[in-house]
Copies of this chain bind each other. A is one copy, B any other.
């Protein structure tokens, strides 16, 4: 299975339902954010400890899986519509972040790179 084949499945799904006109980049960004909001709702009242064991509660685990699948679906669909290679974009972003957050200065710190000094 590849990112590309998942994107093809999602494109076929939309085409069979004539949903392409809804799937503008702007609308897909909103749908992605809407699904992310549903993911937040699962975690919002949990302590850090409870959030770590969320997958051992089957109904909650199922909700988490489904919401993450929805986020993934809209992210892949949006990348397809915009013709962005997500895997390549991520590798480039990791390289950029490697320069912004050198391991010796960023170690154990959650600060933004602009506050790491240099």
**Footprint of B on A, CB under 8 Å?**
1, 3, 6, 9-10, 13, 16-19, 22, 24-27, 29-48, 51-52, 54-55, 64-66, 68-73, 75-76, 78-79, 82-84, 86-87, 89-94, 96-98, 101, 103, 106-110
Supply 18 A–B pairs (Cβ within 8 Å), ascending by A: A3-B3, A6-B91, A16-B103, A17-B106, A24-B51, A25-B64, A29-B36, A30-B33, A31-B41, A34-B37, A35-B37, A54-B82, A55-B84, A65-B92, A68-B84, A69-B90, A72-B86, A76-B90
Q: Which residue of B lies closest to A105 (CB)?
A: B17
Copies in the complex: 4
- Nearest chain B CB to A90's CB is how many angstroms away? 5
SS class of chain A's interface: helix, strand, loop or mixed? Answer: helix
Partner of A48, one of B10, B41, B47: B47
Residues of B within 8 A of A90 (CB): 6, 69, 72-73, 76
- Cβ-closest 8 pairs across A and B: A37-B37, A45-B110, A26-B51, A69-B93, A30-B44, A69-B89, A34-B41, A26-B43
